[in-house]
Structure 1
Amino acid sequence: MSPLYARHKRTTLAIATAVAAGALLTTGLTTSASAQTPAGIAAAKPLAAAPTALSAAARTTLVQKAQAAAAETAQHIGLGAKEKLVVKDVVKDVDGTVHTRYERTYAGLPVLGGDLVVHTAESGKTEGVTRATKSAIKVASLKPQISAAKAEKQAVGAAKTLGSAKNSANGARKVIWAGSGKPVLAYETIVGGLQDDGTPNQLHVITDAATGKKLFQYQGIENATGTGKTLYSGSVSLNTTQSGSTYQLNDSTRGGHKTYNVKHSTSSGTGTLVTSSTNVFGTGTASSSATDQTAAADAAYGAQETWDFYKNTFGRSGIKDDGKAAYSRVHYGSSYVNAFWDDSCFCMTYGDGEGNTDPLTSLDVAGHEMSHGVTANTAGLDYSDESGGLNEATSDIFGTGVEFYANNASDKGDYLIGEKIDINGDGTPLRYMDKPSKDGGSADSWSSSVGNLDVHYSSGVANHFFYLLSEGSGAKTINGVSYNSPTSNGSTVTGIGRDKALQIWYKALTTYFTSTTNYKAARTGTLSAAAALYGSGSTEYKAVAAAWSAVNVS
């Protein structure tokens, strides 16, 4: 789990994200404000390296084929005799190239940080392998020197520092930790409960099984036809389902997305499906009532636009690309100033803000939250250090894409994050992509200390890169918002348009990033993506290099 933004103190406002599970928070193939192709204009020819849409049956066939050949693949790419590959995902490009994402085991134990992607040409020739770790997986002994109970005690202590009242963990399992340094035998322990601001807790703690040293920790919750009268996006159309004389916020056209009301509880349960006798949901204004439907209308609209954005921009059918929807929960907690994605329930959850009258259900928040789900089910970027900043930035980038894609007159696309929810209480946005440091904590460019920042601040480097790649440096006005983006090296960067920038980031995320990708590796991954999509000598490739250099990533 993770907050939408950093909590200096637990009393500060936070929007939760979910990592294995993500929080707050790209657009299309052209450089217009909307990714949709205008009527009467022929769609552009798909890029050869762009992902192609796969039917459920075709995807299943590719996964099964890859799994059947996993042992041969492991040997071919040089893995040891005790290592096995487990297929996690498959992406197929228009030109027939297949990118197969694997998890790895060693002597039957999961290898955390051992994930990799094998890139295979249509001919069947392996074109390369992207690895989370370059270290060989080999440990001297599989016998722990400390007990599981000791690891659990350490994990519970770590969770208590985040406000959890839990006195026990959900068990400890043996794993191989390869996320940093030399691979070692370790325990992974998960502690549940609630953090002290009411956000669900799902703390993963990795403990060295020989020394008892804590090696790593991260949160698994990342800190998002009827009529919806929303608070943030005006009056919108919503796909609903009629059941008898009532209408449900159940969108059967988008994988069966449903919106539930948990009525100010912090229960982990689903809640009550939101229904209406008139097929109109919400009033356009917020109410502190636990039965208010305005927040539900915003949440349903956000899920609808996020689904369409991924489908029409990248050909991705749902968060897992399997045609199945997540679900949304509104009215979580009392005066809960947060929103989060949880991969374990495959759901988004929204608080109502201060006084229960400022729900965190704006369009970019919805897009941000569900994009954490996409990250969890693709690269799986660890929610800590530089990979955590990249995880958070990915949700900001795609949440921004959703906002531009929706092309909603009440919430026009911009490079501001959370500008509608007034989480600071003074009308300012949560984050600024053109100059991240304007929020008082985010990094404009990379330094050796960036990885020590909270992930919501270290994300500034990638957010700034994306803005520069999309729009370029210097002063300009877009959709009525003024921007003035600097560069760390004094260079002038010319943007290639948001739509191409989105394609490059998505390609990198789904085929070149791994759980341990840092900023240097992100530069390499996005350059690989740009080369695959547009050519290694293209304007787009050169722009990616220039934008990274402008934020001091080389």
Structure 2
Amino acid sequence: MSLLVLAALSCAAQAQSAPGASEAARATQARASAQSYVRQFPGLSLDNADHSYEVRDIVLDEDGSSHVRLDRRIGGLRAIGADLVVQSDRFGNLTAMHRSASMLSTAAIPTKATFNQTRAMRIVSDAFPGGTVEKNPEQVIWAREDQPRLAWEVRVSGDGADGTPYEKHVIIDATTGRQIDAWDDIHTAAANGTGRTLYSGNVTLTTNSLTSGYELRDPSRGNNYTINMANRTSGGSVVTDADNTWGNNATSDAVSAAADAQYGTAVTWDYYKNVHGRTGIANNGTGAYNRVHYSSRYNNAYWSDSCFCMTYGDGDGTTFRPLVSLDVAGHEMTHGVTSRTARLIYSGESGGLNEATSDIFGTMVEFYANNANDAGDYLIGEKIRVGGGSLRNMIKPSSDGASADCWYSGVGNLDVHYSSGVANHFFFLLAEGTNSSYGTSPTCVAGNTRVATGSGSLTGIGRTAAAKIWYRALTTKFTSSTTYAQARAGTIAAAQELAATLGADYSAKVAAAWSAVGRN
């Protein structure tokens, strides 16, 4: 992502919708203006004669400014990593462009594939034995690097060794036949009735009344619902009940875990709607659904874009209990939010930012619930571990023995669950500072993965302000290939834009927190 801010433009602002115009009229004008600006300023947008654009999302601020997210095509081919956000002020003046790629000339891209789609499919089939390779791979432009390349995007699905399904996008260079990258659409955790849950105590659930009783479906929140997979990997049915009391606070009743999952979807829905003004994961008022008791002794939970659903295993009873805790629910559904906004590619530093985004908002959902049975903290999955511990620790990520506390040049080579530690650590420091009731979080030695105790002291801005800044950056600044350096720039810009809303300009605090995790 390149953060390109314009202090002023010599050209006149384009005609804007009249004050008080409908949101639809504002969106139409913002769309037209953004596409016009892309053409007017090719030095900023990296536009070229053979480029075209499709609007994916539009964010309209109360002050009249707009943020239009566009996907790019080059020579008619979808360009992965070349998306951009065009930002305009309330008068319609262009103020910034945020883009993924620092593309050099696209003229050098081969126009004909040396490796045809059949050979690309064979390469992927060999790399993922047992997987099902979709027919007719898409020819694309790979633009996550300086020099774009002609490539094939081959999709393959199957089941991993632990039973977790995978839905991978594999990028094959159409000239050399080499695999360039791969990522998964399955995002794992890495593990007015009454719900008697496993982890959150007795909670209120809004359910759907039937002639024969009730079903675990919430008409007030986009019809979120929960189905029982009964230890299968397909099928399942919506959970029903005769008396509108769900579960018994123990695993002896299979409905207890279903109550946890349904509660998690409701709290996550409420958090995004009431705090960020987002109505549902896709911001279209449509609910997602849960699949509980997936497979047998399954030690994971995951979000899938293809089904627009969360899936929860019961755990093996040795490592994990049922993986339906509140922060895991918030984490998984946030993967859906990311896929419909920045669409951070699930590899490299963007993959770490993707995972951290889910940890950040999974944590915020837990705090938002204000449930004494599962009090808010900066630990991920602490309820589901047998024998104590957690999946990740945002206060000191390296306490799990694998996650990075600090940014360094090779951090993007880590598994995304571990490279996420940098952003998790940043968020904790921004929200709480180095010393808080949640623990002491030492700052980092610049350019090194070590932690230097006593090397700096920060005062936090509060988790609500920190989360608003992250959400603003995610939805209006981050693009598919955003790196940690670009996340720093995006969050600083977001803090400046939110100064009036938050009551203070926290951009200096944001910069200091990034420096404290080694990303200057």
Q: Deviations over 1:496-550 (max 9, x none)?
A: 1111100110011111111111111111111001111117995511111111111
Alignment-derived partner of residue 484 in structure 1: 440
Displacement of 1:73 = 3.9
Provide the secondary structure at the position in 1 that maps to 2:327.
helix
SS of residue in 2 equivalent to 1:403:
helix
| Aligned residue number for residue 15 of structure 1 | none
Inter-partner Cα distance in structure 2 for 1:516 and 1:140: 20
Letter in 2 for 1:284: N
SS for the counterpart of 1:222 is: strand
In 1: Cα distance, 2:233 partner to 2:289 partner: 16
1:68 deviates by 5.3
Residue 541 of structure 1 is matched in structure 2 by: 507
Which residue does the alignment assign to 2:64?
96
Equivalents in 1 of 2:134, 2:330: separation in Å? 32
Give the aligned length.
482
CA distance in 2, matches of 1:149, 1:62: 46
User: Residue deviations 1:440-495, cap 9 Å, x none?
Assistant: 11111111121111111111110000000011003x324xxxx1110014111110
1:71 is displaced (CA, Å) by 4.9
Separation of aligned partners in 1, 2:466 and 2:224: 28
Q: Is 2:141–2:151's contact at 8 Å kept on the other side of the alignment?
A: yes
Q: TM-score, normalised by structure 2?
A: 0.89
For residue 174 of structure 1, give the secondary structure of its aligned residue in structure 2: strand
Match for residue 36 of structure 1?
none
Residues 222 and 340, structure 1, Cα contact 8 Å, conserved in 2: yes
2:6 aligned partner: none
Higher relative contact order (CA 8 A, sep 6+): 1
Work out the CA distance in 2 between the residues paired with 1:375 and 1:437: 25
Whether contact under 8 Å (1:436, 1:444) holds in the other structure is yes
Q: Shift of residue 322 of structure 1?
A: 1.1
CA distance in 2, matches of 1:81, 1:468: 45
2:359 aligns with: 396
CA distance in 2, matches of 1:552, 1:91: 31
Task: Tell whether 2:344 aligns with 1:376.
Answer: no
Counterpart secondary structure, 2:147: coil
Question: Whole-Å Cα distance in 1 between the matches of residues 176 and 351 of structure 2?
Answer: 26
Report the Cα distance in structure 1 between the residues aligned to 2:251 and 2:257, rounded to whole angstroms: 7
**2:279 alignment partner in structure 1:** 317
Match runs of 1:142-153 below 5 Å: 142-153=111-122
Whichever residue aligns with residue 217 of structure 2, its letter is N
2:168 matched to which residue of 1?
203
Find the counterpart in structure 2 of residue 226 from structure 1.
193
Q: CA deviation at 1:324?
A: 1.0
Amino acid at match of 1:135: M
CA–CA distance in structure 1, aligned partners of residues 185 and 479 of structure 2:
17
Match for residue 441 of structure 1?
402
**Aligned letter for 1:339?**
A
User: Aligned pair in 2 of structure 1 residues 71, 509: CA closer, same or farther (>3 Å)?
Assistant: closer
Q: 2:368 aligns with which of 380, 393, 405?
A: 405
Task: Please give the residue correspondences for 1:391-470 in structure 2 after superposition, counting only pairs within 5 Å.
Answer: 391-422=354-385, 425-470=386-431
Q: TM-score, normalised by structure 1?
A: 0.84
Kindly state the Cα deviation for residue 77 of structure 1 after the two structures are TM-superposed: 3.5
Which residue of the partner structure matches residue 250 of structure 1?
A: 217
TM-fit CA distance, 1:170 = 3.9
Structure 1 counterpart of 2:467, from 495, 502, 510: 502
- Aligned position for 1:235: 202
Q: Which one-letter code corresponds to 2:507 in the other structure?
A: Y
- The aligned residue for residue 105 of structure 1 is 73
After TM superposition, give the deviation of residue 426 of structure 1 in Å.
2.5
More displaced 10-residue stretch of structure 1: 401-410 or 430-439: 430-439
Which residue in 2 is equivalent to 1:75? Answer: 39
Which of 293, 307, 312 is 1:345 aligned to? Answer: 307
Indicate if the aligned counterparts of 2:103 and 2:145 stay in contact, CA closer than 8 A.
no
Distance 2:286 2:362 in 1: 20
| Residue type of the alignment partner of 1:131 | R
Deviations 1:354-379 (A, max 9, x none): 15982100000000000011111111
Q: Which whole-Å deviations, capped at 9, do the CAs of 1:308-353 have from their partners, x for residues lacking one? A: 0001111111111111111111111110110000111111111110
- Match of 1:296, as an amino acid? A
Match of 1:523 among 472, 476, 488: 488
C-alpha root-mean-square deviation of aligned residues, in Å?
2.0
How far is 1:60 from its partner? 5.6
Q: Is the 8 A contact 2:498 2:505 kept in 1?
A: no
Q: Is 1:281 matched with 2:249?
A: no
C-alpha contact 2:132 2:157 (8 A) present in aligned 1: no
Q: How far off is 1:64 after superposition? A: 4.8
Tell me by how many angstroms 1:167 deviates. Answer: 5.3
Structure 1: how far apart are the matches of 2:443 and 2:270? Answer: 34
Q: What is residue 34 of structure 1 aligned with on the other side?
A: none
One-letter amino acid of the structure 2 residue matched with residue 76 of structure 1: Q
